[in-house]
Each structure stands twice: as structure tokens, then as C-alpha cells.
Structure 1
């Protein structure tokens, strides 16, 4: 095999210029990776892939014009030789399964380290599936509640999420302050607040029990960063400012 055959050609698609530029800088420093194109939205990503025919696309999910999942589906259909590796802030079940069903070969969250991103790019370029540790655990353990359909198998070299190294979360309400017998069930919360996803209702139920983010993460087999994402989302949907308000609403 000649030296050019060893180079992995990559396109980076992210609507945030600072993130996109950072990824390009990091990847271009690696001797076996060559960034051949960039895109700031999904539609442009599809066009750049057609122009450059890369081995891997590093794809954000939430982008203007055409979202990452839709762009992934088009790229996989039109360029089956190109692997899509999702790199996003979101790790909820709907986002993960949507990306995998669209044909993504890998899924990382943006708290992944440089080494994890590089390893994942190399892995998907070889035809393997690479998932962030908490994402893989949920799929393997069947914890993607309410989401049907099969997902690609996880390679033995699956990248491990570094979410536990993220910044400290808001302090939890002491368990003694919230009697467990008074805590609502996830099913009941979902019925009362249908705007919540199943996972958000589960998180809220555990918050109402007075559990910390670390305890919630352990209960649901997800990262602390994923728990914080769900908490921020349910706070916004329920129009509450903090855990105390969320608990009061959940128990009302």
C-alpha cells in the first residue's frame, strides 16, 4: 500500500465556526488525517462530500438549512464509501437513534477528548462502529426506552465518553429533604407533562427523589454530562429555574 492510501480524508460539518476551526486544526496536525473540506450546514455538507469524496464526515446534528441526521441519510445513500461520524452536544435517545438510523457509523459527544475523536475517525474509516461509552451502554443494555429498531453493533474499540470530566453540576437537594414515598413516578410525570421525553421524565423523577446528578447517571447508566443536558432541557420545558422549583412542580 502506498503512503497516499494511508491518509484518511475528512470533511468537518459544524455550524459553529469556532468549533469547526478547532476540529480542523486538531485533525490537520495528525499525519494520517487530511481535512479536505468544511461545511457550516447540512446542505453544504452534502455538496462538499460530492465535491471531495472523503473517507469520513465529522457531522454535527443541529445545523441550519438541513440538519445533521437528514444530511447523513443523503450522504450515506449517495456516497456509500463515506462514513459519517456524528459529533454533537446531544446524547438523548431520540438524537442517537435518529443518527444511527440515518446511517451514521459513529456517535460522539463534544466532551470527547482530542484523542477520542481521532481514534473514532480512524475506527469508522475502517468500517467499524464507534459510540461514546454511555451511548453504547444504553444500547447494549436496552435502556433506550420507547425507541424501537436495531442499531449498528459496537466495535471493541468504542470511544469512551469523557463526560465525567465536565464542570460541576448544580448541587442536589439532600435526599432527606424529599421523602422517597412522595416522589412521583416517571410514567406519572410523563402523563402530566407530555412535553417531556421518556428520559427527561425519568430524570425528573430521580431529581424529585433528591438524587444528585452523579447518582442519576449511575441509575440510568449515562454520563453526568448527559444528565445535565436532560435537566437543562426539562427546566426549559417546564419553565423552572432550579431543582427546588422542579421538585415542587413534580410533587404538586
Structure 2
């Protein structure tokens, strides 16, 4: 049996260690590293050697949904599973729209999580039955109801700034982010909202936010 190397991401040390300990008891799965948030996770991923990421959804700094989007851009093909105590429809839909390989609640059994990790590693998608209703809501008509529903929390903040015509430098200063990070968010906004350029994006966002 091939061994899958997992990166565990959670801002709470107790949960991070507990999850790592549980998964380390599963045959065929080993914990390659852990991280406290999305930014640290990306630093770990740049070193390579990780097959699947298991991350909390709600974290200070870069949250799980944003991490999913960054992984899709920087590490295409790397599956990211979200584990959380929250089951809000918007959170589930944002995670799946960003490219998450799965969405599970934190009280999921160790066996179920291990199975989800294996499924994700094979290119499948796993959604906890308790949030399946929200996952079904991820449909073509959803953007018409809430065009910004597919954005992460940070992307939405950046979107509000773009709508005001601010530059990347100004946005970085306002939101206390690196300018390169802002640039990545703007690229994600262009992709997710289908805008041809930044001017069109700003106009589109202004209309959405002021309708």
C-alpha cells in the first residue's frame, strides 16, 4: 500500500496535535507536517512531499477557503480537504467553488476522514452528508443570486477596495497585506467573476455592491 503524506492545518495547537495523532494510527497515512494557518501551509507545500492537505476552514490570517484557492493556483492537482465545526451553506459553497476536494465536519470519525483522504488523493470529492444540501446549492444559478458568494472572506474585502478604484499598493496598506498577496487576490477575482481586465472588474464590483 502506498503511503499518503498529509499536511494538517489548524490554528489551535490542541486540535492540530490531536488530528495528527489520530491520523498517525491509520495504516497508509503519515503526517508530513503541520501548520497554524494558510500562509504557513503554503510555505510547507513549497518544500514538496505532501499528497493531501487537511485544513480547518476558519482561521485568523489566511483561512481554509483561501488556502484552497491558493493551492489550486500554485499547486494544481493537490487535494485539499476542509474540516470545520461550521456548516453554513455559504462556507460550503465557497470551499467547493474554490476547488476543495472535500468538506467534512470535525466530529467525523477517524475512519471516515481516512477514507476521505484516500478518495481525495485519487481525484475524488467527498462531502459530509450533513452538508450535502449546501453542496447541491453550488450550481450555475448561484452566482446570479449572489455574484460574490464564491469569494473568500479576504477576496471580498479586496473586492470592496477594487470597487473604490484603489491600487494594489493602497489596498495592501488598508488591509495590512503584502502587495503580492493583493495581486493574487485580484487575479482570483478576475477569474471567478469573469472580468476581462481590472477596469471592467472595478465597474462590475461597483454595480454589484451598490445595487
Q: Output the TM-score relative to the length of structure 2.
A: 0.63
Which of 104, 109, 114 is 2:110 aligned to? 114
What is the Cα deviation at residue 138 of structure 1? 4.0
1:37 aligns with 2:30: no
| Residue equivalent to 1:20 | 16
Matches within 5 A, 1:113-152: 113-140=109-136, 142=137, 148=142
Unaligned 5+ residue runs, structure 2? 144-211
| Residue equivalent to 2:62 | 66
**Number of residues of Structure 1 aligned to a counterpart in Structure 2:** 142
Matches within 5 A, 1:44-193: 44-140=40-136, 142=137, 148=142
Q: Aligned to 1:57, what secondary structure does the other structure show?
A: strand
Q: Output the TM-score relative to the length of structure 1.
A: 0.53
Asked if structure 2 preserves the Cα contact closer than 8 Å seen for 1:55 and 1:125, the reply is yes
Aligned-pair RMSD on alpha carbons? 1.8
Q: Could you list the per-position Cα deviations for residues 163-192 of structure 1 after superposition, in whole angstroms to 9, with x for gaps in the alignment?
A: xxxxxxxxxxxxxxxxxxxxxxxxxxxxxx
Q: Distance in 1 between matches of 2:134 and 2:38?
A: 27
- Aligned structure 1 segments of 4 or more residues deviating by more than 3 angstroms: 137-140
Asked if structure 2 preserves the Cα contact closer than 8 Å seen for 1:53 and 1:82, the reply is no
Q: Distance in 2 between matches of 1:139 and 1:39?
A: 27
The structure with the larger Rg is 1
Q: Could you list the per-position Cα deviations for residues 114-151 of structure 1 after superposition, in whole angstroms to 9, with x for gaps in the alignment?
A: 111111111111111100002224434x5x79x815xx
Q: Distance in 2 between matches of 1:30 and 1:120?
A: 13
Asked if structure 1 preserves the Cα contact closer than 8 Å seen for 2:37 and 2:61, the reply is yes
Q: Distance in 2 between matches of 1:61 and 1:108?
A: 10
Q: Aligned to 1:52, what secondary structure does the other structure show?
A: coil
